[in-house]
Amino acid sequence: MRILLTGRNGQVGFELRRALAPLAEIVAVGHAECDFARPQEIRRLVRSVRPAIIVNPAAYTAVDRAETERELAFAINATAPRILGEEAARLGAFVVHYSTDYVFDGTKHGAYDESDATRPRSAYGESKREGELALLNATHHHLILRTGWVAGTHGANFARTMLRLASERDSLSVVADQWGAPTSAALLADITAHLVRQRQRQVAREAFPYGTYHCVAAGETNWCDYARFVVGSAIQFGRPLKAGPAAIRAITTAEYPTAASRPANSRLDTRKLREAFGLELPHWQTGIQHVVQQILGA
């Protein structure tokens, strides 16, 4: 059995190379092997690899730049999943694809579940929602995992940025009125491997619970408290920093304007995922503390 893994050098792709390795032969590709803005390159790739499973963490993730690079964002986030879905359907393959909390407008008071209406407020969110719909229409044999606030030991992310800034500055100001669940790339990869393994063991393939699922760590926090946790963890691991947790000031979204609108509420209800696949999701602090430890080499 062969798994085609895209985005091999991204945060999630890097961890998926580890998590999926025991399950099948992995053909992992990045931008150098396939430009996901070019549909014909994607078709050629899938037809040459002929995978039984396609795992697609590749994405355009420059949220603010997407406001002025809509065409590129939609090519990678919407057209590419459609092509993968069409080629998977032709081969009889199964697709795992990743989406985002940005498909919601962030105005709901509680956690979003999979039945809630999507109302993206940014070009990035629109492109990711378009990708969900495109894949859904291309093949029934798919899983779409919506996640958010992802941090890994490989690549750029909020945790790594906070560690760098706290080592350079005496104080930081971080938004405290946006809420979500920081989720480690390793957790996403391990969950994906669990789902793929269940699909491999499913004798009656049509009985497998395909569909869209929310996939984030347990618990919730805001960006400011998240930053304080990251910095505090680094100090506990013995890394001296100029700015400690007490030097991180809470500000509002209005005080930190960005080109793209961010959801104030990125809470995602994971009950459907947990019940369908028998999972217990760890608290976000567990995964993020491990990410910090790995970044520091502690």
CB 145 within 8 A of CB 192: yes
90: which residues sit within 8 A by CB, 6+ positions away?
none
Q: Which of 123, 147, 159 lies closest to 57 in space, CA to CA? A: 147
Distance CA 192, CA 14 (A): 13
CA distances from 139 to 26, 90, 132, 174 (A): 22, 9, 11, 41
In whole angstroms, what is the distance from residue 147 CA to residue 102 CA?
9
Q: How far is Cα 282 from Cα 205, in angstroms, rounded to an integer?
A: 29
Say how far apart CA 13 and CA 52 lie, in whole Å: 18
Do residues 15 and 154 make contact, with C-beta atoms less than 8 angstroms apart? yes
Catalytic residue at 102? no
Given the residues 102, 124, 210, 226, the one annotated as active site: 124
Task: Kindly tell me the sign of the dihedral angle through the C-alpha atoms of 45, 68, 74, 215.
Answer: positive
- Output the CA torsion sign for 251, 253, 258, 260: positive
Residues with catalytic roles: 124
